[in-house]
Chains A and B, each alone.
Chain A
Amino acid sequence: MSSGIYIHIPFCSRKCDYCDFFSFKASSSYVDKYIDALLDEINSGKHQALSFDSIYIGGGTPSCIDASYINRILSRLYARYNLNSPEITIELNPETITCEKLQIYKESGVNRISLGVQSFASKNLEALGRHRMVDLNSLWPVIFSIFTNVSIDLMYGIPKQTLQNLREDLRSIPENIKHVSCYCLSIEPGTQLYKKSCNLNLPNDDLLLSMQETIINFLGIKDIYRYEISNYARPSFESRHNLHYWQYDNYLGFGAGAVSTISGERMENTKSMLKYLSRNYVESAYSLSENEQINEYVMLALRLIKGLDLSAFQRRFSKEKVNELLQRISDNNKFFYLKDNFAALNSQGLNLSNTIVSNLFL
């Protein structure tokens, strides 16, 4: 079974108001040291016996640092790990894109890009505290001339957003896009937005659900199907890397704050730059109990539209555990459908997945 590799680049040109990711404002001296430490971490070659079919370079904004760094990271991975025609994704911010950068990425092996668009409307971006100076329309030809497997991130449920406004955003998605992630804005504690959250004028739940419907229908017509709570793809363009998470496969993480999970062992890297730069990579490492693993498995698999693969679940745990799970599912059966040995949440269930999944927890 193949696994995924995640690389964390915790730098951004500036912090967005809704952001609760682990990221800093990039300063060149820091970046250089960080990449050195990162390369050393890769060099240490943990879990070299595994074979990997996906690499995901995320952040932060990986595209805000020099593209040559990405090249070095990827070559190091190629040198150290057994990579099996991997999907290699990098997250990009539109304003940091240049033709040269894209070229270097491509030459380094990147074959999929994920573009943090969030919205095409400047009003929405402002509401999110994200500013953009670039004209996306002139960028598309450049992007598509170099990459075919392109994904964009969109956000909905933005303060003051209307259905009309959402439709305009959807219409601005370029025709040849392969994958769309559509996240409902959530106001996380500690963010700028959270501090303002009392007078944000956020869409209510009913409107959010209509928005969700609108997105599903709009993209569906274009042959882009929902395959996870917030992810949509053309057939066979689902994110291979992210599927690893949702199918509870093994994954290795490198970089400050990155997390690895290998057969029930979880390792969390430090978020302290100081520690990371002094090569104290790991903050904590622990084994997940069987119940914790089962809970995570269920929580993740039920994010997928196709649902939880009961035979895979049985292989991993046991027959009794499957029966126990089925028992708990039957207590919540109006939110499920069972088909071809898969247990999946129906559309109502997906909207309430937190409640239902916590009902299923051991």
Chain B
Amino acid sequence: MEQKYIRNFSIIAHIDHGKSTLADRLLEITKTISKREMKEQMLDTLDLEQERGITIKLQPARMIYIANNGITYQLNLIDTPGHVDFTYEVSRSLAACEGALLVVDAAQGIEAQTMANIYLAIENNLTIVPLLNKIDLPSANIPVVKEEIIKILGEHEILEVSAKTGINVDSVLEAIVHEIPAPTGKETEPLRALIFDSFYDAYRGVVVMIRVVDGSVSVGQKIKFMQSDKEYEITEIGYFNPKQVKTNKLETGEVGYFAGNIRNIVDVKIGDTVTEFQKEASTPLSGYKEPNAMVFSGLYPVSTEEFPLLREALGKLKLNDSSLKYEPESSKALGFGFRCGFLGLLHLEIVKERLTREYNVNLIATSPGVIYKICLSNADMLTIDNPADFPDREKIDYIEEPVVKATILLPHEFVGAIMELCNKRRGKMLNMEYLTETRVLLFYQLPLNEILVDFFNQLKALSKGYASLDYEFSGYQVSDLVKVDILLNHETVDAFSFITHKDNAYFKGRELVSKLREFIPRQMFEIPIQASIGSKVIARETISAMRKNVLAKCYGGDISRKRKLLEKQKEGKKKMKSIGSVEIPNEAFLSILKIDSE
């Protein structure tokens, strides 16, 4: 299609403001999807997304729309996630678009990720089309929320819609056509297409999702990845509706995918530019700034034989989740695994779930941590993301921990409670602003490791669910940190070690020790469990020895059954990890290391 009839846009919003539901209506009105095929949040194609009711992955869909002026347009929408951990999905989507539909829940108003996403759209030079959603709700507060939007975006026309009931959604389509600019790529120049996502398909190899910026691309063409310098011949081209629909060609300004029997997954890099082989563009597109992993955890296969499977699965998953970082590591307690970097705890949990569901690897994840910088007495600097690498205390001069700048948006009556929470988490207030008379913006500097666990839940609980949080990495600060080790029967279990602020060590040590006591079954001897800092024990519990496990009877008719029973016990034991002669069932590891990702 000619560029002037193409509109590319993302739908952005805070979590749950109705992006995916709005996308449903757009797909429906444009008859991209028939009423019969329609289901809720159609673009949440992963099972995990449907189950949790949240979007995790960006998802493109092409629609054909005949506008009121009689002209037929091709609209390429990209639905995006709202959770802060998946901001990278949003920025990649925005780079493939000229505009963004900004959805704001009329009952909730502007929230922290609304702001964050607005700034992202502005940085990408996109035209923002704001709209109020959920106007059908009795609690919708249209004038106030409009005022909030105008405070941030300036004077603007703001559509009022209900994605659920469909009220006014037609006007959204008209606004897209009239307000969002058409792409302005150079049709006759050599091909330049931006890779904004990819995934692995067992039959076709890597499937690469692209936005064609200049030139065009068709089946049979030889292309080259500019950054990885690899060539392939295109075997399939298509677009999303949201299912993959094969076509012959993607033209300037269009969004779609191609496959080229790419088996070597490292050849495909998100943000790389695709150009034509032997007719190469002179400069690549600017690509993306790779996000830095903020949270680290060791992922280990539950059964050690699954290590190669895990390695392969991580490689394939990374194609579809380029923010995931991993490198091999080993643990005395858990064997071989990978130290992985994530954008946040929800990201960690989602990756774990996807590895389990999509690749069938059962995993244990060690306690999540952050990157610390340690200055040794000899002035050497160490950077560690694994408690196992924490040096002896005597050798340490000082330690720095990462801090974030947190933006908390909340109704003013909860300010007191939330400030108290932030103070408890060692936060430093940077600023406080009134967005409107009743809505307050709090800016805090907080240590990242203080907000990883249970911060968000607390925030929600203390504000009756009204406070929202966004944060970004802001630097390092010196801090009084210690490493807490857990000893089981006098042996350190590396998988349980963690680094924490000195003031929290005692409490967290106790908590973990008593959890262990609960989850480790009695064994044939008494097991002391200790938490220690260096050689100083800060918490202790004991699992008393099992005293009785015996079958009362075993006669001729019972033998097979009882043998099988004991064989099963033996099999169960094989599956346990043995540490300091203590057998720990995998369920115990899972329960103990279970994290609350909010």
Q: Which residues of A contact B (CB under 8 A)?
A: 4, 6, 8, 22, 183-186, 205-206, 208-209, 229-230, 242, 245-246, 251, 253, 257-259, 261, 266, 268, 292, 295-296, 299-300, 303, 335, 350-359, 361
Contact = CB atoms under 8 A, between A and B. Distances in A.
B552 A230 contact: yes
Contacts, number: 94
Contact of A245 (B548, B552, B559, B570): B559
Contact of B567 (A229, A242, A251, A295): A295
Contacts of B546: 352, 355
Contact of A361 (B524, B547, B557, B566): B566
B563 A245 contact: no
A354 B556 CA distance: 18
Given A251-B556, A296-B563, A354 B547 contact: no
- Which 10 residue pairs across A and B have the least CB separation, nearest first? A358-B569, A358-B566, A358-B570, A354-B549, A183-B552, A205-B548, A259-B557, A184-B552, A361-B570, A353-B550
Nearest to A212: B548
Given A184-B552, A230-B553, 4 more contacts: A292-B563, A296-B563, A351-B547, A351-B549
B411 to A, nearest CB: 47
**How big is the B interface, by class?**
20 to 34
A352 B549 contact: yes
Interface of B: 524, 546-557, 559-560, 562-563, 565-567, 569-570, 573
A141 to B, nearest CB: 30
A266 B547 contact: no
B548 A358 contact: no
Contact of B555 (A184, A245, A335): A245
B550 A352 contact: yes
B548 A299 contact: no
Nearest to A354: B549
A161 B128 CA distance: 77
Contact of A258 (B549, B557, B569): B557
Contact of B569 (A22, A185, A335, A354): A354
B524 A352 contact: yes
B567 A253 contact: no
A57 to B, nearest CB: 13
A242 B555 CA distance: 7
A246 B555 CA distance: 8
B573 A358 contact: yes
A13 B553 CA distance: 23
A230 B559 CA distance: 16
Given A6-B556, A358-B569, A229 B563 contact: no
A354 B551 contact: yes
B557 A299 contact: no
Contacts of B567: 295, 358, 361
B569 A296 contact: no
25 contacts: A6-B556, A186-B551, A209-B547, A209-B548, A242-B555, A246-B554, A253-B556, A295-B563, A295-B566, A299-B554, A299-B559, A299-B562, A299-B563, A351-B550, A352-B547, A354-B549, A354-B550, A354-B551, A354-B565, A354-B566, A355-B546, A357-B566, A359-B573, A361-B566, A361-B570
Nearest to B557: A259
Contacts of A299: 554, 559, 562-563, 566
Interface centre among B524, B546, B556, B560 (most CB of A within 10 A): B556
A358 B569 CA distance: 7
A335 B551 CA distance: 17
Contacts of A361: 566-567, 570
Contact of B560 (A208, A268, A352, A358): A268
Contacts of A257: 557
Nearest to B573: A358
Contacts of B555: 242, 245
Given A245-B554, A299-B554, A300-B559, A359 B570 contact: yes
A40 B570 CA distance: 41
Nearest to B566: A358
Nearest to B559: A296
B553 A183 contact: yes
B556 A261 contact: yes
A4 B555 CA distance: 12
A185 B546 CA distance: 18
Contact of B556 (A259, A353, A359): A259
Contacts of A186: 551-552
A259 B560 contact: yes
A183 B558 CA distance: 15
